[in-house]
Structure 1
Amino acid sequence: MDNIIATTRLYKNYQLAIPKAIRNQFKDLSADDTIVDWSINENNEIIIKPRKKVCLDDVLGIIEDDDLRDAVELKRSLY
């Protein structure tokens, strides 16, 4: 049997609140940068997983490009 930590109510317009017990356990959750993913597993159970919203600072510098190009020179080469 599952270990139920907290329960929450389904409000009008199908809104839910993340229970305080869960928020306290996962201190890195915040309303500004957290997205909640919902899925259903093979046993027809709902799986809820929080993740951080990806911002520009997270992706800057992931890809390195050794080919330095000059936009002006590229434009001149087209004409």
Structure 2
Amino acid sequence: MRINLERLRVTAHAWKAMRKRDITPEELAEILRRPAVSEPHKGCVRLSLNGLTAVVATDPDGTSVVVTVLSRNAEQWTDRDVINRR
């Protein structure tokens, strides 16, 4: 899945998660531009960089939608997360 930075929407839930986790818009932009890891996740894509993860969906009109933003290190993903990745 290609992230459309020209047509991007961040959900209210994602903004709230970012505030709660002290993640800045600049950090989100960096994840979207240059993720170290990009993997499918329940019809979306999970992008990770430097312990931060953004889950992004694509609307039918091609708009990329940031669904949520997490602050985790790769070793913190559980077996349940791996199973749910499909």
TM-score, normalization: structure 2? 0.27
Give the structure with the larger strand fraction.
2
The structure whose RCO (Cα within 8 Å, separation 6+) is larger is 2
TM value normalised by structure 1: 0.28
